[in-house]
Structure 1
Amino acid sequence: MTVKIFDTPEVQDFLNTVAGFDQEGGSERAKQIMHRLLSDLFRLMDDYDVSAEEFWSAVSVLNALGNGTQFGLLAPGLGFDHYLDMRMDAADRER
């Protein structure tokens, strides 16, 4: 079963709510980043037809990392810190 609902008004309204666009105050940039992050994840779930079992398995991994105060190991394990270094190096080269 391949269900694609990302572009529906219901999902788009939900994303705006979850990102906090319907709330006063807070950081507009943080809201935009959260909206983009959630949008990308929701689209991924549509594109790869992520099952409930796959989703909850990923949640279990994140819970295990968080309970063991090991969540910080996920960032370098997935290359986030290296990517940030690459971005800073590219910015330095542009100066």
Structure 2
Amino acid sequence: MIEENNFTEEDVYEITHSINIYFSDNTSESIRIEYDSDFIDAVANIELGISKFFSFEDSNYEIHFISTENIGLIDIPLYLYKEQLQQFFDNE
């Protein structure tokens, strides 16, 4: 697939490290995160009802702080999710 589509190394990195957040106002944002991001902690806090805000740091060290009321969908590559989840459990 990589060769067929002429993906560069940067393209592959972007695909495997970007999440897409779709907001309830029909807008969206693509954000690049790293493996050691606190993204999965933010997801867990929302799932467990600990927080009503989705906050995490992206690969540019910019902090995102988003109310869950404004989020319609969070799309994350499965590979990145599994890596994040493994780190989460390793740190427990």
Note whether the superposition's TM-score is higher than 0.5: no
Between Structure 1 and Structure 2, which shows a larger proportion of helix residues? 1
Structure ranking higher on relative contact order (CA contacts 8 Å, 6+ apart): 2
- Specify the TM-score bucket, using the shorter chain as the normaliser: under 0.3
Between Structure 1 and Structure 2, which shows a larger proportion of strand residues? 2
Provide the TM-score with structure 1 as the length reference. 0.27
